[in-house]
């Protein structure tokens, strides 16, 4: 309890000592420089919260530390899907990520093994495609949509808002199930909008909401723990229009393993 409070205090102290963008000269001339227009009001508040969260997720290593630790990522675990009829299917998964300068330039591969099939979905920095027995195929539209949502609508969209030129606004404070949240709205340069619920106590993202294809989605993040000194939620649950459609449980996540483009190049 006290540890998380200390984290918040340190984060606030850090930000109170950093001059705002474009204010270096003003900071030298005045002890209380006025915010620049582009960082005023709710946007300034949103950025303060996100930057504080980045410090917490990186255990105070900041962006440079996250980039260094998470150059590559390998995850193993299970995903359970529930279709519209209530039928469940479960797959083991292996996910590999090559970190890019932004989410757009990252490369992501998700291998899934079901009882009767095994295939991979890939994003190579420009497009999504499928691979089955080393043969490229065009996945179904719903599979592409679900996989793409994993890339664009996740915690990394918030943690890497600056690299993606996204806009973050503080919307409000809200109490949900007894937990106090700072509610942030992020709009990326492609126009995708998402709402993040950041715990005021721990500065962890606990919930994310977005709307795609006329469906309202909510993803919750559970079982946070440290993976190589960075915070990672080992369980996530996705709802679509109030119905649970996916539950992902990560068994292991490892950063910094050496692997290259051979996992993503099929062209």
| Residue 191: exposure state from Cβ atoms within 10 A (0-12, 13-18, ≥19) | exposed
User: Looking at the predicted structure, is the pLDDT value of residue 261 above 90?
Assistant: no
Q: Rounded CA gap, 77 and 39, in Å?
A: 40
More confident residue, 261 or 96: 96
On whether both 136 and 257 belong to a single domain, the answer is: yes
Number of domains comprising the chain: 2
On whether both 123 and 227 belong to a single domain, the answer is: yes
Q: What is the residue range of 167's domain?
A: 72-263
Q: What is the pTM assigned to this prediction?
A: 0.85
Per-residue pLDDT band at 267 (split at 50, 70, 90):
low
Residue where a domain terminates, one of 66, 86, 115 = 66
Write out the two tokens for 214.
Answer: 């006329």
Note the pLDDT tens digit of each residue in 68-111: 999 999 999 999 999 989 999 999 999 999 999 999 999 999 99
Note the pLDDT tens digit of each residue in 204-258: 999 999 999 999 999 999 999 999 999 999 999 999 999 999 999 999 999 999 8
On whether both 99 and 117 belong to a single domain, the answer is: yes
> What is residue 24's predicted lDDT score, i.e. its pLDDT?
38
Q: Rounded CA gap, 237 and 141, in Å?
A: 22
Strands 117-123 and 128-132: antiparallel
Note the pLDDT tens digit of each residue in 19-69: 333 333 333 333 444 444 455 579 999 999 999 999 999 999 999 999 999
Residue where a domain terminates, one of 39, 66, 93 = 66
DSSP-derived secondary structure letter, 198: E
Q: Rounded CA gap, 183 and 47, in Å?
A: 12
On whether both 45 and 96 belong to a single domain, the answer is: no
Residue where a domain terminates, one of 18, 50, 66 = 66
Write out the two tokens for 160.
Answer: 């890497």
In this structure, are residues 177 and 191 in contact, taking their beta carbons and an 8 Å threshold? Answer: no
Instruction: Give the CATH number for residue 203.
Output: 2.50.20.10
More confident residue, 116 or 41: 116
């Amino acid at each position: 309890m006290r540890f998380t409070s200390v984290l918040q205090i340190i984060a606030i102290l850090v930000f109170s000592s950093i001059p705002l963008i474009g204010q270096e000269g003003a900071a030298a001339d005045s002890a209380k420089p006025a915010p620049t227009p582009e960082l005023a009001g709710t946007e300034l508040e949103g950025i303060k919260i996100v930057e504080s969260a980045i410090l917490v997720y990186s255990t105070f290593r900041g962006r440079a530390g996250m980039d260094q630790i998470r150059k590559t990522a390998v995850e193993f675990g299970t995903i359970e899907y529930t279709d519209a009829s209530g039928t469940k299917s479960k797959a083991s998964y292996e996910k590999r990520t090559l970190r890019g300068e932004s989410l757009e330039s990252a490369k992501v591969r998700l291998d899934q093994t079901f009882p009767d099939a095994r295939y991979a979905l890939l994003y190579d920095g420009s497009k999504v495609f499928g691979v089955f027995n080393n043969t490229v195929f065009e996945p179904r539209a719903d599979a592409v949509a679900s996989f793409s949502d994993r890339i664009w609508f996740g915690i990394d969209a918030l943690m890497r808002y600056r690299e993606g030129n996204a806009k973050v606004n503080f919307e409000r404070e809200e109490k949900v199930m007894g937990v106090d949240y700072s509610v942030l709205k992020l709009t990326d340069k492609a126009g995708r909008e998402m709402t993040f619920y950041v715990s005021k106590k721990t500065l962890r993202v606990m919930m994310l909401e977005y709307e795609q294809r006329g469906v309202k989605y909510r993803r919750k993040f559970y079982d946070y723990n440290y993976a190589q000194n960075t915070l990672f939620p080992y369980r996530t649950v996705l709802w679509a229009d109030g119905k649970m459609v996916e539950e992902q449980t990560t068994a292991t996540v490892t950063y910094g393993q050496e692997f290259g483009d051979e996992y993503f190049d099929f062209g």
